[in-house]
Amino acid sequence: MNDLFEDQLRADLHAAAGQPAYESIDPADVIGEGTRFVRRRRRLQALTAVATVAVLAVGGVIATDRGHTTTTPPAGPRSTASPSRALLTLSDDGTERFILDRDASSDEVRIIDAAGTDRPVLARLRVPDDGKPLAYTALTVRNSLVGLLPGGSHLLQVSTDGVGEQTGYRSDLQPLGGDLVAFAVHFDQPGRLDSLSRILWADATGSVWDTNTPLPSARFAPPGSPFLPQLVWADVDSRTWGTSDTVGSSLSERPLEDRSYAVSDDVNSEAPDTGRRTYTVTGLLPFAGVSDLQASWATGVTVFSPLQVEELTSGDRTNLTAFHAEVMTDGEAPRPLLRSVTFTGRDGQRQSHSYSAGNKG
């Protein structure tokens, strides 16, 4: 917590202590009844539909300008010494603010209205006795979604029902002790919270979750790369696969077809004076057990972070291989940048696949 807020928070919490107690709420019950405000719709979404949803900003940056920070709260054991507090701000003028107060001697987190002068306790979230919260725990509080995630987690995207509709929102996320982060989301349009369909987030290990469902995913952090680690995931139920950096910037999802050799090449940066561009190239192979993956690139492509390979496996439902590389060109290069891959399959035989112009999967 920023030192600037300490005195104010101390006064806020002192005032809140005199407010009447509210009945504790078990997160399991909240999520069990969560169809009031969370309706996870597993369906195929085209990239154009996903692009209409604003990307969340985290680490205390309000998402109106889609800014982001590379700061990641460290994961660690639950504190046993002193209370933990987080101040979540959802408006520039401070009229939408919540304090989340957590005492190490209690298994509850109090949600306190920090916008007014009376500082009432609006609700309580219960943290299980073993200190391990549910993957996703939240309540609707004064037309905002306020909740908890495991320590080190990042929000990636908040989706609502309604293909093609503009859905803007503000968000804030702050650490609440070593093993929790607090978050809040407020939609610009009244009533949009009622059509909330998905919270997409990544935990401290880089695993991607759709609300409370872990997705087959991988985290790529090439040594020496100037860019944020990259995430890739597959959602077999909605038949999509997606990519993002670890703070939700440049997030996109694409159709995932059976036996699909999917690939994306996204611009990371461009130098106006030289025309030099850098790209992240991410792809999927439709099976696991791949080794010795080699790539062939378009003319003019320089690879500065070589291919990394990870398997995405979820029981017998999803068996995919993800790969990732970072490349550079001296100008606009013909697409696709990746022209072909050659690899050894599970059967020990060498195989290859070529990517044609416009091939995105």
Report the C-alpha gap between 88 and 72 in whole angstroms. Answer: 16
Query: Across all residues in the chain, what is the average pLDDT?
Result: 74
Q: Which residue carries 């030099």 as its tokens?
A: 276
Q: Would you place residue 103 in the very low, low, confident or very high pLDDT band (cuts 50, 70, 90)?
A: confident
Residues 232-258, mean pLDDT to the nearest whole number: 87
Point out which residues pair with 327 in neighbouring strands: 279, 303
Confidence of residue 316 (pLDDT cuts 50, 70, 90): low
pLDDT at 18 over 80: no
Cα Rg of the chain, angstroms: 22
* Gap between the Cα atoms of 235 and 255, Å rounded: 10
* pTM check: above 0.85: no
Please enumerate in sequence order all residues whose Cβ is within 8 A of that of 41, keeping only pairs 6 or more positions apart, or say none: 161, 197, 198
Answer positive or negative: Cα dihedral of 175, 177, 181, 187.
negative
Q: Is the dihedral of CA 137, 41, 160, 64 positive or negative?
A: positive
The mean pLDDT of 292-307, rounded to a whole number, is: 93
pLDDT single digits (tens) 137-160: 888 888 899 999 998 999 998 888
Q: What is the pLDDT of residues 188-209, one digit of tens each?
A: 887 888 888 889 999 998 999 9
Task: Tell me: pLDDT of 236 over 60.
Answer: yes
CA dist., res. 178 & res. 281, Å (int): 34
User: 3-state DSSP helix/strand/coil percent for the chain, to nearest 5?
Assistant: 10, 45, 50
Instruction: Establish whether the linkage from the previous residue to 229 is cis, with ω within 30° of 0.
Output: no
SS (H, E, C) 110-161: EEEECCCCCCCEEEEEECCCCCCCCCCEEEEECCEEEEEEECCCEEEEEEEC
Q: Tell me if the bond preceding 336 is cis, omega within 30° of 0.
A: yes
Over the stretch 259-287, which tens digit does the pLDDT of each residue have? Answer: 778 888 888 888 877 788 999 999 999 98
**How far is CA 311 from its chain centroid?**
20
